[in-house]
Amino acid sequence: MRHGYSAQQIRDAEAPHLTAGEPLMARAAAALADAVREVLVGRDAARGRILLLVGSGNNGGDALFAGASLARDGHEVSIVELGSRTHAEGLHAALEAGARVVADAAAVSADVIVDGILGTGAAATPALRGRARAVVASLLPALSGRDAAAVVAVDIPSGIDPDDGSVPDPTVLPADVTVTFGGYKTGLLRGDAVRLAGDVRLVDIGIGDDLAAMTPVVEVCE
């Protein structure tokens, strides 16, 4: 049985751990990097080309720290900044490890695209906007065919409502794998999101007991 929780429930579960200084982002980033490594192995890419689409929130930070780990492994990591700001520590770590910032996502040949644009904090306005939407729209035509890049979504594919699974704008990167943290977001288990989330993998970052004390919004048989 998969138990789905609202974005607010996830935030409430995380709050005491963040206050206590627990490294939730580091745990999430490590799991995300492992998922990308697994995808690269499946594509027989010993030295993979990874494109990080990075937004302003924690998903962007997760992507950057994962990118730093992957760059240290010797993979080629490119970063496209798509938010009003970029997680400073994550960006520093990625650049120090050998990643590079690029302006044109469509010009990057990638084995894996990591979607870290929006997360559960975008529940009020989940649709992509501005440059982020334009970049995703430019990448969508190249995602069909044998040699298309695999897409790994951070927590939830950007553009999906994390609570009801609706897709207010079809400009969404369909994920091959979604690495979600702490608990399933209700939006991954219902609505149009189900067909866009791909293989959803739940990662324990240390908030499971907190969520277990809450009533899930939705329950879905596996």
All structural domains of the chain with their residue ranges: 26-213
CATH number for region 26-213: 3.40.50.10260
Mean pLDDT of the chain: 93
**Least trusted range by pLDDT, from 44-48, 136-140, 158-162, 199-203:** 44-48
pLDDT digits (tens, 9 = 90+) for 34-88: 999 999 998 887 789 999 999 999 999 999 999 999 999 999 999 999 999 999 9
pLDDT digits (tens, 9 = 90+) for 113-152: 999 999 887 656 788 999 999 999 999 998 877 789 999 9
Task: Write phi, then psi, for 123 (nearest 5 degrees).
Answer: -60, -35
Question: For tokens 């306005």, what's the residue?
Answer: 125
Percent of the chain with pLDDT over 70: 99
d(CA 131, CA 48): 26
How many CA atoms does the CB half-sphere of 32 hold within 13 Å? 36
Closest listed residue to residue 87, CA positions, set 136, 112, 121: 121
For the cut 90, the answer to whether the pLDDT of residue 222 exceeds it is no
pTM of the model: 0.95
d(CA 135, CA 104): 8
pLDDT, position 123: 57
Torsion sign over Cα 173, 179, 180, 186: positive
Amino acid residing at 1: M
Query: Tokens for 25?
Result: 């982002």
4 forms beta bridges with 184, 218
3-state secondary structure the chain: CEEEECHHHHHHHHHHHHHCCCCHHHHHHHHHHHHHHHHHHHCCCCCCEEEEEECCCHHHHHHHHHHHHHHHCCCEEEEEECCCCCCHHHHHHHHHCCCEECCCHHHCCCCEEEEECCCHHHCCCCCCCHHHHHHHHHHHHHHCCCCCCEEEEECCCCCCCCCCCCCCCCCCCCCCEEEEECCEEHHHCCCCHHHHCCEEEEECCCCHHHHHCCCCCEEECC
d(CA 2, CA 11): 19
